[in-house]
């Protein structure tokens, strides 16, 4: 392949790589906490914001029911069929595996037939309300990333509240109210998630969307819509995650809204399917849940990309010199500046905000405004700026990149602090210049940028020495001086000043201009075709006839 083709392919590849780096699909992975990079100080670590992968969080929870003996089957009882409330000979018996409905059946793998579910005792004590609290505890802060979906086999409750805790169950806040009649049940106007806006996203609403119907085959789920709330910032198909990440970064309330340690489902009134409760047939009324979905990830404050489940507890595997269950503080001896969470911005790598050792001199990431990212170099026990912009370089972006020089009239924080040397590529030895912008010139060249010629030289993609003129350096044998750079020689002559006679290769030899004698004939034609000899004959001018 020829060189120009190679260069073209390389250029295409480089621009492709550049384009891919900025392709939106690469946004928001945050799956790497650090990577090795080469800087002027050698091999070092570059730190990025990172977070664990999202997962099915129901694998890691503890479930508690209140009252504790609310699960059916102890003592055994009969209840009405889910499909037909007048067939009331089904049995719930906690002591028989096939007839028991313990809470873990809300979290087992679904897809089997028949569906497995937890079930409460029936509403025997009507009109005393049938109240059940189902508490899911993680003993760890987690961030929700998808809708919470609860599947009821009993018909969806006529009244329920979904609550969250952010302090391991000490205090609770409602997430959403659900009722067949919001005004009647909670004195709230019925709303849906579609009524929310960016400004009202954190409002707690009561919805009637998930309470209607009784054992509708395809209408069994109660949902808390996380994704619809995300979409208020990220767009309907969550294509603009940058906008959402930006909001999460800057708005603590928003971040906290999607963060939980516990969830509580407060079941307040079972499905009755009618305005009147049939007091003669109370074993029709109970709660049964076959599945609860909670998708999320460990909250590690963007300081860990993995979270392990060990001894019944989730823990972030903290990086960036942080520690604690949520990487919420700096390690001992790494408290050189106040702890802070990582940031999603700038996309796609974010900012790590690592903890730095106690004994580092200047603790700030001081880069004179040419970078907002620093990297701690363990070997040198120092903090350096990473990715200095505006053509700067150095530990604090205080120097100019090679090929640039310091603009003395600009402050160190000025975007125009470094000026392009702008050395003439033909006239200068390199693209670098000294502190006042002077380039290093090639022979015959002068000027600050090496774009002018010294006397005796002429510009021709650089300065070439003067070859001929009409005075002292005349072209000989009838040659004509062309732009003072070369003699245009007549057919029979060559040389700088047309001082040599030209070889006559067709005739098989050269005539020596000084002796005037005929040269010996050259060897026969096949030998002439030997490449080195052919080259010499074509380009090398005349050789002695004895060759
Ligand atoms: Ca199940």
Separation of CA 213 and ligand 1 centre (Å):
21
Q: Please give the distance, rounded to the nearest whole angstrom, from the Cα atom of residue 287 to the centre of ligand 1.
A: 14
The lowest-confidence range among 305-319, 405-419, 431-445, 497-511 is: 497-511
CA of 109 to the centre of ligand 1 (A): 6
Q: What is the DSSP string of 13-47?
A: HHHHHHHHHT-GGGTT----SEEEEEETTEEEEEE
Q: Residue 213: its pLDDT value, please? A: 63
Residue environment code for 451-490, b if the CB has 16+ CB neighbours within 10 A, otherwise e: bbbeeebebeebbbebbbeeeeeebebebebeebebbebe
Q: Is 532 helix (H, G, I), strand (E, B) or coil?
A: helix
- Find the range with the poorest average confidence among 148-157, 246-255, 364-373, 534-543: 534-543
Confidence at 504, pLDDT banded by 50, 70, 90? low
Pairing of strands 34-39, 42-47: antiparallel
Closest CA to 351 of 371, 335, 366, 367: 371
Ligand 1 centroid – CA 207 distance (Å): 25
Q: Is the pLDDT of residue 503 over 80?
A: no
| Mean pLDDT, range 203-222, rounded to an integer | 81
| Section 158-185 average pLDDT | 96
How does the average pLDDT of the chain come out, rounded?
Answer: 83
82-86, 107-111, 200-204: which range is least confident on average? 82-86
CA of 252 to the centre of ligand 1 (A): 36
Give the residue from 121, 157, 125 showing the smallest Cα distance to 269.
Answer: 157
Q: Give the model confidence (pLDDT) of 262-302 as tens digits.
A: 999 999 999 987 778 889 889 999 999 999 999 999 999 99
Distance 74 CA to ligand 1 centre (A): 20
Three-class SS state of 520: coil
pLDDT (0 to 100) of residue 357: 83
Asked if the model's pLDDT at residue 531 lies above 60, the reply is no
Comparing 493 with 82, which gets the higher pLDDT? 493
Tokens of 290: 């076959």
Query: How confident is the model at residue 2, as a pLDDT?
Result: 46
- pLDDT over threshold 50, residue 110: yes
> Mean pLDDT, to the nearest integer, of 312-328?
95
Task: For residue 293, report the distance from its CA to the centre of ligand 1, in Å.
Answer: 11
Q: At 156, is the pLDDT very low, low, confident or very high (cuts 50, 70, 90)?
A: very high
pLDDT confidence of 523, banded at 50, 70, 90? Answer: very low
CA distance 228 to 112: 30
User: Residue 379: its pLDDT value, please?
Assistant: 67
Distance from C-alpha of 398 to C-alpha of 385, rounded to nearest angstrom: 10
Q: Cβ neighbours of residue 373 under 8 Å, at least 6 residues apart?
A: 351, 365, 385, 386, 387
- The tens digit of pLDDT for each residue in 415-462 reads 999 999 999 999 999 889 988 899 999 999 999 999 999 888 888 888
Per-residue model confidence (pLDDT) at position 516: 37
Between the alpha carbon of residue 179 and those of residues 7, 182, 220, 229, the distances in Å are 68, 5, 14, 20
- Express each pLDDT in 325-376 by its tens digit: 999 999 988 887 889 999 998 888 899 999 988 766 555 678 888 887 777 7
CA 56 to ligand 1 center in whole angstroms: 15
Give me the half-sphere count of Cα atoms (radius 13 Å) on the Cβ side of residue 467. 20
Look at residue 6 in the predicted model and tell me its pLDDT: 42
Considering only 135-149, 251-265, 282-296, 505-519, which range has the smallest mean pLDDT? 505-519
pLDDT over 80 at 162, yes or no: yes
Q: Is the pLDDT of residue 40 over 80?
A: no
**Distance between Cα 68 and ligand 1 center (Å):** 20
CA of 105 to the centre of ligand 1 (A): 4
Residues 449 and 366: their CA atoms lie apart, in Å, by 33
pLDDT at 468 exceeding the cut of 90: no
**Distance of CA 403 from the midpoint of ligand 1 (Å):** 68
Pairwise pLDDT comparison (367 vs 185), residue with the higher score? 185
| Span from the CA of 102 to the centroid of ligand 1 (angstroms) | 10
pLDDT band with cut points at 50, 70 and 90 for residue 218: low
In angstroms, what is the span from residue 87 Cα to ligand 1's centroid? 23
- Residues composing the chain: 547
Residue 154 CA to ligand 1 center (angstroms) comes to 13
Alpha carbon of 210 to ligand 1 centroid (Å):
20
Say how many Å lie between the CA of residue 180 and the centre of ligand 1.
25
| Pair of tokens at residue 173 | 């806040």
CA 400/CA 435 separation, integer angstroms: 10
Rounded to the nearest angstrom, the distance between the alpha carbon of 113 and the centre of ligand 1 is 10
pLDDT at residue 420 in the model: 93
Q: Does an H or E element contain 537, and which?
A: helix 531-539
Average pLDDT over residues 120-133: 95
User: Which residues contact residue 498 at a Cβ distance below 8 angstroms, ignoring those fewer than 6 apart?
Assistant: 475, 476, 477, 478, 479, 487, 489, 490
Positive or negative: CA dihedral 230, 236, 241, 247: negative
Report the candidate in 130, 152, 160 with the shortest Cα–Cα distance to residue 277.
Answer: 130
Average pLDDT in the 147-175 region? 95
Q: Kindly tell me if the per-residue pLDDT of 118 is higher than 80.
A: yes
pLDDT at 113: 72
pLDDT at 147 over 80: yes
Q: Is 61 exposed, middle or buried (0-12, 13-18, 19+ CB in 10 A)?
A: buried
Kindly list the distances between the CA atom of residue 304 and the CA atoms of 281, 350, 357, 454, in Å, as whole numbers in the listed order.
55, 13, 19, 63
Model confidence pLDDT, tens digit, residues 383-412: 788 888 999 998 889 899 999 999 988 888
Residue 277 Cα to ligand 1 middle (Å): 28
Q: Is the pLDDT of residue 26 over 70?
A: no
Under a CB-based contact definition with an 8 Å cutoff, are residues 373 and 365 in contact? yes
Task: For residue 329, report the phi and psi dihedrals to the nearest 5 degrees.
Answer: -150, 170
Phi, psi angles (nearest 5°) of residue 184: -70, -45
Distance 499 CA to ligand 1 centre (A): 103
CA 151 to ligand 1 centroid distance, Å:
9
Dist. CA 156 → ligand 1 center (Å): 16
């Amino acid at each position: 392949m020829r060189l120009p083709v190679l260069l073209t392919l390389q250029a295409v590849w480089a621009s492709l790589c550049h384009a891919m780096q900025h392709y939106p699909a690469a946004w928001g992975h945050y799956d790497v906490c650090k990577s090795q990079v080469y800087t002027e100080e050698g091999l070092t670590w570059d730190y990025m914001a990172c977070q664990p992968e999202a997962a099915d969080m129901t694998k890691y929870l503890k479930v508690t029911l209140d009252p504790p003996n609310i699960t059916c089957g102890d003592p055994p009882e009969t209840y009405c069929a889910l499909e037909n409330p007048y067939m009331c000979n089904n049995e719930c018996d906690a002591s028989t595996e096939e007839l028991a409905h313990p809470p873990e059946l809300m979290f087992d793998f679904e897809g089997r037939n028949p569906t497995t579910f937890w079930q409460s005792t029936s509403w025997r004590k009507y009109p005393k309300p049938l109240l059940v609290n189902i508490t899911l505890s993680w003993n760890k802060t987690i961030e929700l990333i998808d809708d919470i979906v609860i599947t009821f086999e009993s018909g969806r409750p006529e009244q329920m509240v979904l609550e969250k805790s952010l302090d391991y169950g000490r205090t609770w806040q409602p997430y959403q109210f659900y009722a067949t009649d919001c005004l009647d049940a909670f004195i709230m106007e019925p709303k849906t998630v579609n009524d929310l806006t960016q400004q009202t996203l954190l409002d707690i609403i009561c919805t009637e969307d998930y309470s209607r119907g009784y054992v509708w085959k395809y209408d069994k789920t109660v949902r808390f819509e996380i994704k619809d709330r995300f979409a208020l910032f990220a767009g309907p198909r969550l294509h603009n995650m940058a906008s959402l990440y930006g909001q999460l970064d800057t708005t603590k309330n928003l971040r906290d809204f999607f963060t939980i340690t516990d969830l509580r489902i407060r079941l307040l009134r079972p499905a009755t399917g009618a305005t009147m409760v049939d007091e003669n047939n109370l074993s029709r009324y109970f709660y049964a849940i076959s599945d609860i979905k909670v998708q999320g990830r460990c909250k590690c404050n963007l300081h860990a990309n993995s979270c392990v489940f060990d001894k019944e507890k989730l823990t972030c595997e903290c990086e960036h010199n942080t520690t604690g269950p949520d990487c919420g503080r700096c390690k001992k001896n790494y408290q050189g500046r106040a702890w802070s969470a990582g940031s999603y911005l700038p996309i796609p790598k974010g900012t790590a905000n690592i903890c730095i050792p106690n004994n580092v001199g200047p603790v700030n990431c001081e880069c004179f405004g040419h970078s907002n990212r620093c990297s701690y170099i363990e070997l040198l026990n120092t903090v350096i700026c990473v990715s200095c912009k505006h053509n700067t370089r150095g530990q604090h972006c205080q120097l100019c990149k090679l090929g640039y020089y310091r603009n003395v009239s600009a402050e160190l924080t000025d975007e125009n602090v470094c000026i392009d040397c702008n050395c003439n590529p033909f006239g200068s030895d390199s693209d670098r210049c000294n502190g006042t912008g002077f380039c290093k010139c090639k022979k015959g060249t002068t000027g600050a940028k090496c774009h002018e010629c010294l006397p005796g030289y002429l510009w021709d993609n650089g300065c070439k020495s003067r070859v001929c003129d009409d005075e002292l350096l005349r072209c000989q044998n009838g040659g004509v001086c062309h732009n003072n750079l070369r003699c245009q020689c007549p057919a029979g002559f060559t040389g700088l000043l047309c001082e040599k006679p030209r070889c006559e290769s067709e005739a098989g030899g050269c005539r020596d201009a000084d002796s005037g004698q005929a040269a010996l004939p050259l060897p026969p034609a096949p030998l002439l075709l030997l490449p080195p000899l052919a080259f010499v004959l074509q380009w090398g001018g005349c050789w002695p006839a004895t060759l």
